[in-house]
Structures are given as C-alpha cells and as structure tokens.
Amino acid sequence: MNTILSVQHLTKKIKGKTIVNDVSFDVLAGEIVGLLGANGAGKTTTMKMIVGLSKISSGDVKIAGRSMKTEFSKALDDLGAVIEAPAFYPYLSGYENLRQYQRLHKKASKDWLLEVASLVGIDHALKQRVGTYSLGMKQRLGIAQALLKKPKLLVLDEPMNGLDPAGVRETRTYLNQIADELGVSVVISSHQLAEIEQMAGRVIVIQQGCLIAEQQIGDEAGSSVLQLTLHVNDAERAGKALTEFSGGIHRSLKSKQAEQLPGGLYAIAITLEEEQVPKLIRSLCEAGVDIHRVLPAHTSLEDKFLEWTTKRGEVS
C-alpha cells in the first residue's frame, strides 16, 4: 500500500530545549493510527509540525511524497486537520461556514460539501447558526471542513474531548467510514484509549518527546505466546499438575496463583507457547482436574500504555 505520511527524524527544539526528539513513523493509505502520550509528552507538538503549524527544527514530514519543508503548498493540498478547538463564524450557518472554506479549494464542489456533511452527520443542522451548535456538532463541522478539499491525510488532535458516549461512538463510526470508503489516512490523538483501541489499527506512543512504542492493535493475536485463564474445580491438583508440566522441556510456561470464583471454581492465569496448549489440557485432565472454561486473556490498550510509559518513568 502507498505511504501517505512519512515522519522522518522529526525534532523540535525551543530555546535549546528538545521538545520532540528524532521521531520517525509512516502511515499507509486508509490506515487509522493513534498517536498516544501523556500531557506534555510532545504529541501535540508533533502534530503541529506534521500540519505545518510549528516549524521543524530538523528532520522532515512528507505527505503523499511531498516534503513540508521544500514543497509546503503542494503537501498541504493532500492534508486536512483539526488541531485543538475548530474555529468558525458563530453568526453564520453551518452551510455558510463550509461554503466560505469550499470556495478556496478547486476540488471542493457544492455536491461534495453536502456529501461530507451527510457523512459526518450534520446535514440536518446545516441551516442552523453555528453559535447554537453543541461541542460535538462543532467537532463534526471541523472534520467536515477538513474533508472538503478531499485530503489523503486527516490529522485530528483530541476530536472526542467533551463528547458524551453517544457522540464518541458516532465519531468512531464515521472516522472508520472515512478511512474505509474514502481511503483517507487518519492520525488521531486521544486520551480515550478504549476508543482508540476500537478504532485504530496501530498505535504510536510518545513520551518525553521520544517514540517509545509502535504496535499493531491486537498484535498479540499473531504471537506464538498465549495468555489464557483456566477455570478449574481443584486448585491444589491443578497446581501440582502445572508444576510437573512446567518441568523438563516446558520451562516457558508461567502461571499465577489460583483465584477463587463463585460456585467452587478457581481461575488460573497461564502464559505459554501455543503448541503447548493441547498437552497442558491433557495433563490437567489426566491429573483429575475438571476444566470448565479456557478463556483468552486480553490485555487492554490502557494496560499496555501504562506498561510502556512506566518503563521510562512517571506517567503524569
């Protein structure tokens, strides 16, 4: 697939202090990527350099192959962005605000304006003054405005701030639709990690200005190492069987102390190679252990984020 965004050794220094340090990553066509980091980590500064709102100290950003440093105007043709709170003329209607912006771009027709408004769910409110819009409606209008020039890349900084659960869900739905149906690449920052986990295909984590992690969402599914939770009837027998099983050639197996459950059952968390699972189940059955459930243990993006960031220091 085509690379739409290429961030190359991006660095930002202000008065001798390094805010963003040698950050590099790529985003493919139609891909949604979450840019994560605690407050002050440097993610908003990174986004501002990507969209041209902050000068790049060193490195480069290329959008659809065009450099923001040497082909700034042409690179902007393929970029749409909503950084911080979108600003509009409050005394004009939603339609009039979009028309003001649409007149600036040759690729933005009136038909496309209406199509974009429908896509983000504000077509019913186009005749209303923007001053009457809720925060969620203004966020949608901002994204519609960013899409008017038919960009290949959409950059959104905290677009779900202040939205109620219904608004968050709707935002997730139409961003997925934008990526799937229009092939637009989306880079999105958010503190709502559960939403990023449902929306993005990959996350990039920045801390203290450095890229500290880059991972596909659900990457554990492709790993040969599994995390399972077993519900068993006899914790003592299961413990002895696991001890015997983990000896010899099975040293990669790890298990945690059994946790008692309602109904006389016990939960045991186990980490092992996938190929060992059938052998383990047979060993437990042969030891007289009844296995009521075998559940895959899911590590949430929030847990992973805390793990990544606490390895390098505080998360505040």
In CATH terms, the superfamily for domain 3-220 is P-loop containing nucleotide triphosphate hydrolases (3.40.50.300)
Phi-psi region of 288 (alpha: psi -120 to 50; beta: other; left: phi over 0): left
Instruction: Give the pLDDT score at 313.
Output: 52
Contacts with 102 (C-beta within 8 Å, 6 or more apart), sequence order: 108, 109, 110, 112, 113, 148
Most distant CA pair in the chain, distance? 76
* Model pLDDT for residues 157-205, shown as the tens digit of each residue: 988 877 788 888 888 888 999 999 889 999 999 877 888 888 888 999 9
pTM: 0.76
Instruction: Give the pLDDT score at 1.
Output: 65
Instruction: Give the pLDDT score at 31.
Output: 95
Structure token pair of residue 220: 């554990």
Instruction: Give the pLDDT score at 114.
Output: 93
pLDDT in tens, the chain (316 residues): 699 999 999 999 999 899 999 999 999 999 999 999 888 889 899 999 999 999 999 999 999 999 999 999 999 999 999 987 788 999 999 999 999 988 888 777 888 999 999 988 899 999 999 999 988 889 899 999 999 989 999 999 988 877 788 888 888 888 999 999 889 999 999 877 888 888 888 999 999 999 988 888 865 544 566 778 899 999 899 888 888 887 754 445 666 678 888 888 999 888 888 888 898 899 999 999 999 998 876 667 777 777 777 765 544 3
CB 181 within 8 A of CB 115: no
- C-alpha to C-alpha distance for 269 and 259, rounded to whole angstroms: 9
Count the Cβ atoms, other than its own, within 10 Å of residue 302.
13
Tell me, what DSSP letter sits at residue 205?
A: E
Measuring CA to CA, which residue among 299, 271, 313 is closest to residue 38? 313
CATH number corresponding to 221-296:
3.30.70.2750
Helices 110-119 and 165-182, axial angle in degrees (round to 10): 130
Strand partners, 18: 13
Indicate the domain borders of the chain. 3-220, 221-296
Handedness of CA 32, 171, 35, 48 (dihedral sign): positive
Instruction: Give the pLDDT score at 220.
Output: 52
Query: What is the torsion angle, in degrees rounded to the nearest 10, for the CA atoms of residue 233, residue 238, residue 240 and residue 245?
Result: 160
User: Rounded to an integer, what is the distance from CA 285 to the centroid of its chain?
Assistant: 41
Instruction: Give the pLDDT score at 65.
Output: 94
In this chain, the answer to whether the domains covering 3-220 and 221-296 adopt an identical fold is: no
User: Rounded to an integer, what is the distance from CA 313 to the centroid of its chain?
Assistant: 22
Query: What is the torsion angle, in degrees rounded to the nearest 10, for the CA atoms of residue 70, residue 73, residue 79 and residue 84?
Result: 90
Count the Cβ atoms, other than its own, within 10 Å of residue 244.
12
User: What is the average pLDDT value for the chain, to the nearest integer?
Assistant: 86
